[in-house]
Structure 1
Amino acid sequence: MTESSTTPVRPVLLHDREGKVLALLPAAALLDLGRLCQLAGRELQPVKAEDAQRFFSQPALRSESGLEQLLSLPLLVDEQCPEADWQCREPHSGWQFALAQPPAHERVQIGSFALPAQTPQESVGLSDTQVINRAVERFTGLRVQQRLEDLLGLPGLSESMHSIVRLRSNPDAGVDDLVPVVKRDPSLSAQVMGWASSPYYAAPGKVRSIEDAVIRVLGFDLVINLALGVAMGKVLQLPEDIPRGSIYHWDQAIFTATLCEKLAAKAQLDERPRPGLAYLAGLLHNFGYLVLGHLFPPYFSRLSRYIEANPHLEQQQVEQEVLHVTREQIGGWLLESWKLPDEVSMAVRCQQVPEEAGEHQVYAQLLFLASRLLRAEGLSDGPRVEVPASLLEQLQLAPDQVRQAVDEVKAQADSLAQISRLFDARN
Structure 2
Amino acid sequence: MVLLNDHEGKALVILPANMLLNLVSIWKHSGRHLQPVRGRDAVKFFGQPALQTNAGQKKLFQLPVYIEQSIADYDKLGVVEPYTGLAFEAQKQWFQEHVSLCALGMTTNAINKQQPDGNDEQVITRAVERFTTLRIQQRLEDTLGLPPLPASMKKLVELRSDPAAGIDDLVPLVRGDASLAAQVMSWAASPYYAAPGDVHSVEDAVIRVLGFDLVVNLALGVAMGKALSLPEDMPRDAVPYWQQSVFTAATAELLCKKIPAEIRPKPGLVYLAGLLQNFGYLVLAHLFPPHFSLLSRYIEANPHMALEFVEKQVLNVTREQVGGWLLDNWGLPEVVVEAVRHHNDLAYEGLASHEAKVLHVASRGLRAREMADGPIELVPDRILAELQLTQADVDAVLEDVQESRVELDSLVHTIMHA
Measured against the shorter chain, the TM-score band is: over 0.9
Is 2:116–2:123's contact at 8 Å kept on the other side of the alignment?
no
Deviations 1:134-186 (A, max 9, x none): 01111122222112112232332333200000100111111111111111111
Is 1:269–1:396's contact at 8 Å kept on the other side of the alignment?
no
1:174 aligns with 2:166: yes
Give the secondary-structure state (helix, strand or coil) at the position aligned to 1:140. coil
Match of 2:26? 36
Structure 1 position 342, deviation (Å): 0.8
Match of 1:14? 4
Residue 253 of structure 2 aligns with an amino acid whose one-letter code is E
Equivalent residue runs for 1:195-206 within 5 Å: 195-206=187-198
Match of 1:74? 64
| Residue of structure 1 aligned with 2:17, choices 11, 27, 39 | 27
Give the secondary-structure state (helix, strand or coil) at the position aligned to 1:359. coil
Structure 1 position 106, deviation (Å): 4.8
Structure 1 position 228, deviation (Å): 0.8
Distance 1:55 1:397 in 2: 39
| Residue of structure 1 aligned with 2:78, choices 87, 91, 94 | 87
Equivalent residue runs for 1:183-202 within 5 Å: 183-202=175-194
Match of 1:114? 105
State TM-score, norm by structure 2: 0.96
Residue 149 of structure 2 aligns with an amino acid whose one-letter code is L
Give the secondary-structure state (helix, strand or coil) at the position aligned to 2:164. coil
| Residue of structure 1 aligned with 2:218, choices 199, 206, 226 | 226
State TM-score, norm by structure 1: 0.94
Give the secondary-structure state (helix, strand or coil) at the position aligned to 1:88. strand
1:310 aligns with 2:302: yes
Is 1:155–1:235's contact at 8 Å kept on the other side of the alignment?
yes
1:270 aligns with 2:262: yes
Question: Please, which moves more after superposition, 116-125 or 143-152?
Answer: 116-125
Give the secondary-structure state (helix, strand or coil) at the position aligned to 2:283. helix
Equivalent residue runs for 1:350-361 within 5 Å: 350-361=342-353
Distance 1:250 1:115 in 2: 32
Structure 2 alignment gaps of length 5 or more: none
Structure 1 position 81, deviation (Å): 1.1
Q: 1:121 to 1:147 in 2, by over 3 A?
A: same
Is 1:242–1:304's contact at 8 Å kept on the other side of the alignment?
yes
Deviations 1:258-316 (A, max 9, x none): 11111111101523210000000000000000000011010001000001111001111
Match of 1:6? none
Deviations 1:104-138 (A, max 9, x none): 45532211111112342354651000000001111
Is 2:116–2:126's contact at 8 Å kept on the other side of the alignment?
no
Match of 2:247? 255
Distance 2:12 2:409 in 1: 37
Give the secondary-structure state (helix, strand or coil) at the position aligned to 1:27. coil
Residue 166 of structure 2 aligns with an amino acid whose one-letter code is G
Is 2:65–2:95's contact at 8 Å kept on the other side of the alignment?
no
Distance 1:353 1:102 in 2: 42
Question: Please, which moves more after superposition, 118-127 or 412-421?
Answer: 118-127
Equivalent residue runs for 1:203-352 within 5 Å: 203-268=195-260, 270-352=262-344
Give the secondary-structure state (helix, strand or coil) at the position aligned to 2:296. helix
Q: 1:229 to 1:422 in 2, by over 3 A?
A: farther
Deviations 1:61-84 (A, max 9, x none): 222321222111111122111322
Distance 1:403 1:178 in 2: 35
Give the secondary-structure state (helix, strand or coil) at the position aligned to 2:300. helix
Structure 1 position 206, deviation (Å): 1.5
Match of 1:414? 406
Is 1:199–1:415's contact at 8 Å kept on the other side of the alignment?
yes
Residue 85 of structure 1 aligns with an amino acid whose one-letter code is K
Residue 116 of structure 1 aligns with an amino acid whose one-letter code is T
Aligned residues between the structures: 416
The runs of at least 4 aligned residues of structure 1 exceeding 6 Å deviation read none
- Fraction of identical pairs, as percent: 51
| Residue of structure 2 aligned with 1:373, choices 365, 381, 406 | 365
Structure 1 alignment gaps of length 5 or more: 1-10
Is 2:148–2:330's contact at 8 Å kept on the other side of the alignment?
no
Distance 1:122 1:244 in 2: 28
Residue 386 of structure 1 aligns with an amino acid whose one-letter code is L
Is 2:256–2:358's contact at 8 Å kept on the other side of the alignment?
yes
Residue 277 of structure 2 aligns with an amino acid whose one-letter code is H
Give the secondary-structure state (helix, strand or coil) at the position aligned to 2:79. strand
Structure 1 position 357, deviation (Å): 4.7
Give the secondary-structure state (helix, strand or coil) at the position aligned to 1:26. coil
Residue 376 of structure 1 aligns with an amino acid whose one-letter code is A
